[in-house]
Chain A
Amino acid sequence: MDFLQNTLASFVSLVPVTLAQSLILAFVVLGIMIPFRMLSFPDLTSEGAFPLGGCVCGVLMAAGLSPLPAILIALLAGFVAGCCTAFIHLRFRIHTLLAGILMMTMLYSINLRIMGRSNLSVFGSATVFDWVPGLQPGFPASKIVMAGAFGLIVFALLLHFFRTEKGTAVRAVGANPDMAEAQGINVWLATIGGVGLAGAFSAAGGALMVQSQGFADVNMGLGILINGLAALMIGEAIVGKQSVLRQLAAPFVGAIVYYQLVSFCLAAGMPPPDLKLATGLFVLAMLALPSLKRSRGPAPARETVRE
């Protein structure tokens, strides 16, 4: 009884902090979802683009730049990183996964070069979270409001975009690249733009994270990909992925639920080092589920990706 009470008490006390964190990391989940689901391009760049955004933002903040331009420049850096991954795949016909691994490995060195050391404190610099009126800066409430507002704007813009003529064309590239090309769609442009956009979101997540936690670290991306993937799987299990609306809502819902689950496990006394194993097993289970269910109903579509 005591154990349950303690667990619940510490879990509840962590809810606001976790919520703030999950709203920021929702951008990374978005950066994983867009290539994976909209373009059938499993992209690993986010593992490098997330710390890239953080490092760029950290260095700029330390140099005295105001927080919003710092985020925008970080976003641009992430966009370029994503474009590079897509270009490597398209130009040299390298497998999408390998292109992502190459890019994220190279980004590690680039991130170190940008910062000049492995971590950088920006504690005390102005952040976008200070701008929320009526709330004390530095507390979870202001982060929830600010990150939530950014998330809502991005969600609304993407929802509009993927329903426009251009956005439909981008989704067609993911659904059937050969057909898309035969319908006059420039597959290169759509792929490079889409994966670049995803990199931009991952980097924006990193930039917001740095402003939230007050420091940048080259290792801040370690394991972010598997966390994001787990969050995406949860989100898709809850809201589904049958329509553009649902597919776009999944990263946000998934991030919020996933990080609360993690927080609950930690509150229940799970040793933090075991977290990656648990997350990995969870993603495996979610991906394996369709093939386990095959005996009932029609055969589920296999996960098809571009190679």
Chain B
Amino acid sequence: MLEIQSARKVFYKGQADEKTALNDLNLRLETGEFGVVIGSNGAGKSSMLNAISGALVLDSGKIVINGDDVTGMPVHKRAMRLARVFQDPMKGTAASMTVAENMLLAELRANRRTLRRGLNPARLAAYKERLSLLGLGLENRLDTRVELLSGGQRQSLSLIMAVGGSPELLLLDEHTAALDPRTADIVMQATIRAVEALKLTTLMVTHNMQHAVDFGHRVIMLDAGRVRLEIAGAEKTSITVPDLIGHFSVKTDRMFLAS
């Protein structure tokens, strides 16, 4: 379970270009729930994910994961509980290290690292099996350095690395946005399979309205640093892409009127 309690973050405080990124944002995601976050640029989606992962320190408010307050924890401590797939495939993997070494790093995310040999035969066999599920042939390239893989392969690897070890919370930050449509589809299908199989509590940010309609239990629309709209249950199952886009335009009209 994830809870964000009146999270507030202001950039450039007191300066002319002061910007409120998170404006007393409240959000609650139940265990096993799959939330899809949409919103226009600058609505606070990235700031929210960064605040959850620890990359952004809040001015005030609380982040609670499964009942534990993690607000004061640095990124590497929170990594025990959550995993994240970034939009940029380069960001989520260590380019100069091999596929197997990257898998090892992910496996050890929540564990104590010891002075025993990292890549042992048992682990290599396990990685081979897990990567073969993707059907991209990565299982035969365990010793390939990740910088030699394509963007789609790297992003698929990031996904496998993130869902391995069943994190308490999975954060997907527009993770298919940088991929071509076919690869994006492959990565998205793999995401859904993993999330459903492992019943992961997931928060996905996307600009793809079709994805927001097709996947997840709840659509959360952010605007100006707070939750503007939540669509769940029967309403979520019947919603269409034009409906969602309609909500965007209503908001934009209001912005026009306000200005």
The stretch from B62-70, B87-95, B183-191 touching chain A is B87-95
A170-201 to B contact mask, C-beta < 8 Å, 1/0:
01101110111111111100000000000000
B244 interface residue per 8 A CB criterion: no
The stretch from B7-15, B103-111, B224-232 touching chain A is B103-111
Q: Which of B76, B95, B101, B117 contacts A184 (CB 8 A)?
A: B76
Who on chain B is nearest to A169 by CB? B113
A185 to B77, CA, bound (A): 8
Q: Say yes or no: B92 contacts A179, CB within 8 Å.
A: yes
Q: Say yes or no: A183 contacts B109, CB within 8 Å.
A: yes
Q: Say yes or no: B105 contacts A183, CB within 8 Å.
A: yes
Q: Which residues in chain B, 69-103, are within 8 Å of chain A measured between CB atoms?
A: 75-77, 79-80, 83-84, 91-97, 101
A153 interface residue per 8 A CB criterion: no
A118 interface residue per 8 A CB criterion: no
Contacts of A186 in B (CB 8 A): 76
B254 interface residue per 8 A CB criterion: no
B238 interface residue per 8 A CB criterion: no
Q: Which of A163, A172, A178 contacts B117 (CB 8 A)?
A: A163
Q: Which of A165, A175, A176 contacts B104 (CB 8 A)?
A: A165
A161 to B109, CA, bound (A): 19
Q: Say yes or no: B105 contacts A166, CB within 8 Å.
A: no
Q: Which of A165, A171, A175, A182 contacts B116 (CB 8 A)?
A: A165
Q: Say yes or no: A168 contacts B75, CB within 8 Å.
A: no
A137 interface residue per 8 A CB criterion: no
Q: Say yes or no: B92 contacts A182, CB within 8 Å.
A: yes
Q: Say yes or no: B116 contacts A168, CB within 8 Å.
A: no
Contacts of A163 in B (CB 8 A): 117-119
Q: Say yes or no: A168 contacts B118, CB within 8 Å.
A: yes
Q: Say yes or no: A168 contacts B105, CB within 8 Å.
A: yes
Q: Say yes or no: A181 contacts B75, CB within 8 Å.
A: yes
Known: A164-B114, A165-B116. A179 touches B91 (CB 8 A): yes
A167 interface residue per 8 A CB criterion: yes
A289 interface residue per 8 A CB criterion: no
Q: Which residues in chain A, 139-170, are within 8 Å of chain B measured between CB atoms?
A: 160-161, 163-169
Who on chain B is nearest to A170 by CB? B113
Contacts of A161 in B (CB 8 A): 115
Q: Say yes or no: B114 contacts A166, CB within 8 Å.
A: yes
Q: Which of A165, A176, A185 contacts B114 (CB 8 A)?
A: A165
Known: A163-B118, A165-B116, A166-B114. A182 touches B94 (CB 8 A): no
A277 interface residue per 8 A CB criterion: no
Q: Which of A165, A174, A179 contacts B113 (CB 8 A)?
A: A165
B53 interface residue per 8 A CB criterion: yes
Q: Which of B75, B80, B91, B116 contacts A164 (CB 8 A)?
A: B116
A301 interface residue per 8 A CB criterion: yes
A182 to B76, CA, bound (A): 6
Who on chain A is nearest to B75 by CB? A181
CB proximity of A189 to chain B, nearest CB, Å: 9
Q: Which of B53, B76, B79, B108 contacts A165 (CB 8 A)?
A: B108
Q: Say yes or no: B79 contacts A169, CB within 8 Å.
A: no
Q: Say yes or no: A164 contacts B115, CB within 8 Å.
A: yes
Residue of B105, B116, B119 with highest tally of chain A CB at under 10 A? B105
Q: Say yes or no: B115 contacts A168, CB within 8 Å.
A: no
A15 to B174, CA, bound (A): 61
Contacts of A183 in B (CB 8 A): 79, 105-106, 108-109
A184 to B94, CA, bound (A): 14
Q: Say yes or no: A169 contacts B91, CB within 8 Å.
A: no
CB proximity of A304 to chain B, nearest CB, Å: 9
Q: Say yes or no: B94 contacts A175, CB within 8 Å.
A: yes
CB proximity of B63 to chain A, nearest CB, Å: 16
Contacts of A184 in B (CB 8 A): 76-77, 79-80, 108-110
Known: A180-B105, A182-B84, A183-B106. A165 touches B94 (CB 8 A): no
B147 interface residue per 8 A CB criterion: yes
Contacts of A160 in B (CB 8 A): 117
Q: Say yes or no: A167 contacts B108, CB within 8 Å.
A: no
A104 to B236, CA, bound (A): 63
Q: A160-B117, A168-B104, A176-B95 are in contact. List 10 more A-B contacts (CB 8 A).
A: A163-B117, A164-B118, A165-B108, A165-B116, A167-B118, A168-B101, A168-B119, A175-B97, A176-B91, A185-B76
B residues near A (Cβ < 8 Å) are: 53, 75-77, 79-80, 83-84, 91-97, 101, 104-106, 108-110, 113-119, 147
CB pairs A–B below 8 angstroms (23 shown): A164-B113, A164-B117, A165-B117, A168-B119, A175-B95, A175-B96, A176-B93, A176-B95, A178-B91, A179-B92, A179-B93, A179-B94, A180-B94, A182-B84, A182-B92, A183-B79, A183-B106, A183-B108, A184-B77, A184-B80, A184-B108, A185-B113, A187-B76
Q: What 6 pairs between A and B have smallest CB-CB spacing? A: A184-B79, A175-B94, A165-B113, A184-B109, A168-B118, A176-B94
